[in-house]
Amino acid sequence: MAQIFPKWTNKLPFLLAVGAPIILIGFVFLIWWFGSPKYTDVGYQPKQPVPYSHKLHAGDLNIDCRYCHTTVETAATASLPPTQTCMNCHQLILPESKKLLPIRESWTTGKPMEWIRVHKVPDYAYFNHSAHINAGVGCASCHGNVAEMEVVKLVEPLSMGWCIDCHRNPVQHLRLLSEVTNMNWTPPADQFELAHQYITERNIQPSEDCSACHR
């Protein structure tokens, strides 16, 4: 009697048994990678209403982060600078620049500038800037070296796993409080010992409990 299926189909059960898990694992990996903040968010660099250069202001002119982001040491949010902050300088510096026309219009009308936010954790997560700054975590640990950026971009995923990794081992991110806004800071040779000293002195106890961020 003639066979209904060709002989090679005898290998199908084996091929399915081996191939199905490989395909499933590959599919999960693709979803995990291409759906992760490392792929979807890192590199986000929106065009702002005014071409503000952090490289010029924070880098070349060495303006401290806290001059514009005034509440970073005292509040949960770092705050965006009001138009008044810009005009403190630009009433005299480049007062006729076409690039600064939206700033002058905002100054004249009283309508706030609509800056596009780059760094933002999801609404269901709570993050407090002041807690991190006062613990000695440098701005660059989360934001990268913005003093080298013409246009600010997202350099870290700001994901739950990324945050937990730091909470479990914050040693590499802790520094003198006077160095928090120093974008060119590098860990000293005795960083491990110093960081543990800071942890004791500042009573740093990073929580890994869900309620720390999901309130």
pLDDT along the chain (215 residues), means of 10: 72 81 83 80 95 96 96 94 96 95 97 94 94 97 97 96 96 97 95 97 95 92
The pLDDT of residue 195: 97
The pLDDT of residue 138: 96
Is the pTM higher than 0.95? The answer reads no
Helix axes 83-90, 101-109, angle to 10 degrees: 120
The pLDDT of residue 183: 95
d(CA 193, CA 208): 23
The pLDDT of residue 1: 56
d(CA 151, CA 32): 29
The pLDDT of residue 14: 80
What burial letters (b/e) apply to 102-132, b meaning 16+ CB within 10 Å?
bbbebbeeeeebeeeebbeeeeeeebebeeb
Alpha-carbon torsion angle 100, 106, 109, 114, nearest 10: 140
Which regions of the chain does DSSP assign to beta strands (E)? none
Q: In sequence order, which residues have a C-beta less than 8 Å from that of residue 38 and are 6 or more positions away? A: 157, 159
d(CA 50, CA 87): 13
The pLDDT of residue 25: 86
What amino acid occupies position 70?
T
What burial letters (b/e) apply to 156-192, b meaning 16+ CB within 10 Å?
bbbbeeebeebeeebeebbbeeeebbbbebeeeeeee
